[in-house]
Amino acid sequence: MDNLSAALEISAAGMRAQSGRIRIVAENIANASSTAEAPGLDPYRRQVPVFASHLDRRLGARLVEINRVALDPSAFTLKFDPSHPAANDEGYVEFPNVNPLVEMMDLREAQRSYEANLGALDSARSMAAATLRILE
């Protein structure tokens, strides 16, 4: 396989991985205030993508992908709200371990990584188009 095609596939794999990361961050943000329905149950737990690379023998290159989605083991946030249906005996409610500021920073990093892969893909496409123009 030629180098331009390999570059296109490598960039596309990076874009797919970052797209999955953006989806996970969006789920975290959407559930940032999703509490349990009853006392003793856990609220939404933050998800974290776990990346892995694998060798694509056809390309002769390592490609990145989301291997799995892990749950963040950090503690839930407690807020005093005795009227909430999920409040414990002391009146505290467990809220998700999602920090919107952290999620927004992670989202921005994923967007920049996606854009970098898109830039590499565009450059490879431009080189292929320039090559075709030269060969005409």
Task: Dump the DSSP string for 14-76.
Answer: HHHHHHHHHHHHHHHHHTTT---SSTTS-----EEEEEEEEEETTTTEEEEEEEEEEEP-SPP
Per residue in 45-88, pLDDT tens? 999 999 999 999 988 889 999 999 999 999 999 999 999 999 99
Residue 73: exposed, middle, or buried by beta-carbon count in 10 A (0-12, 13-18, 19+)?
exposed
Radius of gyration of the chain (CA): 22
CB 97 within 8 A of CB 74: yes
Rounded Cα–Cα distance for residues 116 and 126 (Å): 15
The answer, yes or no, to whether residue 36 has pLDDT greater than 70, is yes
Q: What angle do CA 129, 20, 25 make, to 5 degrees?
A: 130
Whether the full predicted model's pTM is greater than 0.75, yes or no, is yes
The answer, yes or no, to whether residue 1 has pLDDT greater than 70, is no
Query: 86: domain range?
Result: 3-135
Counted domains in the chain? 1
The answer, yes or no, to whether residue 2 has pLDDT greater than 80, is no
Tokens of 24: 């996970």
In this structure, are strands 61-71 and 47-56 parallel, antiparallel, or unpaired?
A: antiparallel
